[in-house]
Amino acid sequence: MAEPLLDVRQVTLQYKTSERVVTATHRVSFAVHAGDRFVLLGPSGCGKSSLLKAVGGYLPPIEGEITLKGKRVSGPGPDRMMVFQEFDQLLPWKTVAENVVFPLVSAGRMPKREAMGRARHYIDKVGLSRFADSYPHTLSGGMKQRVAIARGMAMEPEILLMDEPFAALDALTRRTMQDELLRLWDDTRFTVLFVTHSINEAIRIGTRILLLSPHPGQVRAEMNSASEPTQQLALETQIHDLLFA
C-alpha cells in the first residue's frame, strides 16, 4: 500500500480546564490515503471534532503523532481547510466571491485577480455563479454551506476537513448536499476527512468509515463502505450493532 497522505497514530487528545482534565480521544489511529472519502463516525462527545481540530493543527496531541505527507502537523496550514456545521462561518460583510477569495489572498497564494478567477471557478462548481455578488445573509443554509465548500476547495488543500457540514440542514437539503459533494468528488477526486454522527450519512459519503466508541473516543472498527443498496443496508445493521451492543 502507498504511503498514507494523512497518518494519525495513537493520538490522545485532552482539554485542561482549571477544574479538570477531559480526555477527548484515547490512542486513536487511522490513515487517510489520497482520494479517500474518510468518515469519522461516532456518537456526540466521542471526540470527532477534537480529532479534526488536531488534524487542523489547532489542538496538539498529548500522546501520539499526526503527519501529513510524512511531515509532522504542528499548526494550522493552507494544506488543510475546514468546513464547519455552522452557517455563520462566512464573513457577513463580504460577498460570496469575496469570501472565497479571502483565504487565497491572505495566504499569499496568488494575486487578487488570479484568485478571483479561481474563486469563480469553484463557485461555479457548487452551482452558485448567479450568487457570486450576493451577501451571505441573503442565502439559504444549504447555499451558505456550498460557499464554505467552495472556499475550502478553492485553496486546493491536500485534505478537506468537514465537521458535520450538513447536520444543521433540513433532511431534503441534507440529502441534496450529500449528492452534490459526491458529484464534486467524482469531478475533482479531492481527499476529504468527513465527520458525522449519522450512520446513514457515513455510509452515503464514505469510502472508508472509522467507527469511534463513546467518550473518550477509541477506535471501535474500521470498514470499507459499500455502493450496492443491499450491502449498504447490511453495513448499516453492522454499525448499529457495534454502536449499541
State whether the Cα torsion 96-93-49-42 is positive or negative: negative
- Contacts with ligand ADP, 28-67, as mask; x by CB under 6 A: --------------x-xxxxxxx-----------------
- In this structure, which amino acid lies at residue 145? Q
Cα 156 versus chain centre, distance: 14
Q: Cα(152)–Cα(52) distance, rounded to whole angstroms?
A: 15
The smaller minimum CB distance to Mg ion, of residues 122 and 166, is found at: 166
CA atoms within 13 A on the CB side of 78: 14
230 binds, among Mg ion, ligand ADP, none (CB under 5 to 8 A by kind): none
The smaller minimum CB distance to ligand ADP, of residues 26 and 48, is found at: 48
Region 1-20 residues binding ligand ADP, contact defined as CB under 6 A: 15, 17
Under the criterion CB under 5 A, does residue 49 sit at the interface with Mg ion? yes
Count the neighbouring beta carbons within 10 Å of the beta carbon of residue 73.
21
Which of 9, 109, 215, 220 touches ligand ADP by CB under 6 A? 215
Under the criterion CB under 5 A, does residue 99 sit at the interface with Mg ion? no
157 binds, among ligand ADP, Mg ion, none (CB under 5 to 8 A by kind): none
H-run or E-run covering 91: none
H-run or E-run covering 39: strand 37-41
Residue 195: CB minimum distance to ligand ADP, A: 7
Q: Cα(234)–Cα(225) distance, rounded to whole angstroms?
A: 11
The smaller minimum CB distance to Mg ion, of residues 76 and 117, is found at: 76
131 and 139 Cβ atoms separated by less than 8 Å: yes
Residue 243: CB minimum distance to ligand ADP, A: 13
Q: Cα(69)–Cα(55) distance, rounded to whole angstroms?
A: 12
- In this structure, which amino acid lies at residue 93? W
188 and 126 Cβ atoms separated by less than 8 Å: no
Across the strands, what pairs with 38? 193, 208
The smaller minimum CB distance to ligand ADP, of residues 45 and 127, is found at: 45
The smaller minimum CB distance to ligand ADP, of residues 52 and 139, is found at: 52
The smaller minimum CB distance to ligand ADP, of residues 4 and 47, is found at: 47
Cα end-to-end distance, the chain, whole Å: 33
165 binds, among ligand ADP, Mg ion, none (CB under 5 to 8 A by kind): none
- Contacts with Mg ion, 9-48, as mask; x by CB under 5 A: ----------------------------------------
Q: Which residues bind ligand ADP (CB under 6 A)?
A: 15, 17, 22, 24, 42, 44-50, 215
Q: Which residues bind Mg ion (CB under 5 A)?
A: 49
